Structure 1
Amino acid sequence: MSNFSYKDIYIEDGKRVLEVNILPEKHCNFDCIFCPIGRSYNKVDTQRSFDEMDNSLKELEDMIENHKPELVYINSKGEALVNSKISDILALIKSKGVPVRLLSNGYLLGRDEYAQIAAKCDEVIGEIKAISEEDFQKIQRPIEGYTLKEYISNMILFNKKYEGKFILEVTIIKGYNDTDESVNKIKNVISELSPDKVIVERINDERFKKKLGISDERMDEISKALLDM
């Protein structure tokens, strides 16, 4: 029995990628209205212990040895950093000589204990969705006390010290961050953060696409504005 789940091996930029979710169910510090996983019933920002971790680690080791990936991508049901065994997971992957990419929403990267863990990864992805405080609280529904200003600051502080590849994933959402004014604010964040790579996405989940998705034309305009900086 294992608490991890995997996607089929796929090729990205010529590399074999093993994508793994290390949470048995959703544990996150946000409760975004458009999350494809659903509601955050376990809304946490401190580490949690899970059962069957020995079996999960052995399964991960077998997956790496059998499939020989050239990158392991930790993309979990929520915030992967709250798994109390995250350091052991990273140590196992690195012991096999395989680079690691970690997806985090980025808020916890401002805390030393989490920043030290993330710093062990070869690549870290942080995220930006809402670009005003009101929208951040409304559509991302973070843990009480979180602010957009601190969110952005946490990623900036982390990346100033981080020696790996920091990737910023920007999700464009109709009615929230798709205006010219919002795009300019996002550009300012990108300039401050200075990521190694920017990925611009939009809402593609059919459940939310009609209300929150933007047109192809507008997506092209925004992508050009954010990627041609």
Structure 2
Amino acid sequence: MTEEPYVYLFGPVPSRRLGLSLGVDLVPSKTCSLDCVYCESGATTKLTVKRSALVPKEAVMAEIDRYLATHEPPDAVTFSGAGEPTLHESLGEIADHIKSRCPGVRVVLLTNGTLFDREDVRRDAARTDLVIASFEASGKKVFRALNRPHPSLDPEAMAEGLVTFRQEFSGELWIEVFIVPGLNDDDDEVARLAEVVKRIGPDRVQVNTLDRPGTEAWVKPADPERLKTITEALGSGEVIGAYTPRSTGGDSDADVGSRILGMVKRRPCTAEDLAESLGVPQEQVDEALETLTRTGRIQQETQARGMFYKPL
């Protein structure tokens, strides 16, 4: 029997950082406070800092209940997707709902960190177990060029918000720094970023760079040796280990196709990414991709790491 498609859930996907993670998407595609040049989800279509009920909280919680009733609990449930989760006004309430339904499963928030100068956002974020916030521009010039923010946003206010959140939050706070060559990889900018990161005092600092197609075609990955140097300068020698996937259970071809669509509409994936994420044989993923491509539901794009699939 074919499973009814999920609207607000995707995955679960294997994460190098989190294990097997079920994604929860709280905002319509590309509703965000930033329009980052590197974003794997594409250009922002609604640039906003206004919190609201962007999708019905009851529908999100009902899908979570339906998933947990028929699947093994994941290692983590993660607020992420193709927009900024803190823009949803019921983020904290939904986090509480997840914790009540699956105690022991880590609730994670992936955020661009732009709204943490607001007490209501910090209060909601504090109802999760782990917050992974981005911070990659120390001043307005780089911030505008790299993140293309809503006009009301300021990187110093972001930093102070994260400093305050670190003081209030009893869970783990990780800071992710995304490096774009030519924008935030020079020694002076890295030194300024290191000062901000030290002020925030996160539990971990992780450095990232382009791994799949970004919004702007001119954005390229940073050199591995330069990334290593930057990581050391930021005070983190952490190497993110590879993830050993576990099966998510058997799926029909129709279910695999539906889950592939749910994943690639949020970020481009290779066939290998999808097979690992879905926990199904590579041949079954390849057949589903061929069908989806032939019927005009997805398209291909070649990058350094291989062929990526994304929606038309």
TM-score (norm 1): 0.89
Shift of the alpha carbon at 1:53? 4.1
Q: Deviations over 1:151-204 (max 9, x none)?
A: 111111111111110000011110111112122112111211110011110122
2:36 match: 32
1:44 match: 48
1:5 match: 9
Q: Judging changes above 3 Å, is the alpha-carbon distance between structure 1 residues 12 and 211 closer, same or farther for their aligned structure 2 residues?
A: closer
Shift of the alpha carbon at 1:217? 1.8
TM-score (norm 2): 0.67
Q: State whether residues 136 and 193 of structure 2, in contact with CA within 8 Å, keep that contact through their aligned partners in structure 1.
A: no
Deviates more, 1:176-185 or 1:158-167: 176-185
Any gaps of 5 or more consecutive residues in structure 2? 239-312
Among 141, 145, 148, the residue aligned to 1:138: 145
2:250 match: none
1:167 match: 174
Q: State whether residues 203 and 209 of structure 1, in contact with CA within 8 Å, keep that contact through their aligned partners in structure 2.
A: no
2:75 match: 70
Q: Quick one: distance in 1 between partners of 2:39 and 2:52?
A: 21
**Which structure features the higher share of helix residues?**
1
Answer yes or no: is 1:195 the counterpart of 2:199: no
Q: Which structure has the larger Rg? A: 2
Q: Judging changes above 3 Å, is the alpha-carbon distance between structure 1 residues 69 and 114 closer, same or farther for their aligned structure 2 residues?
A: same
Partner-residue secondary structure (3-state), 2:99 = helix
Q: State whether residues 2 and 55 of structure 1, in contact with CA within 8 Å, keep that contact through their aligned partners in structure 2.
A: no
Aligned residues between the structures: 229
| RMSD of equivalent CA atoms | 2.3
Q: State whether residues 30 and 83 of structure 2, in contact with CA within 8 Å, keep that contact through their aligned partners in structure 1.
A: yes
Q: Quick one: distance in 2 between partners of 1:220 and 1:103?
A: 23
Answer yes or no: is 1:214 the counterpart of 2:222: yes
1:92 match: 97
Shift of the alpha carbon at 1:63? 1.9
Deviates more, 1:181-190 or 1:52-61: 52-61
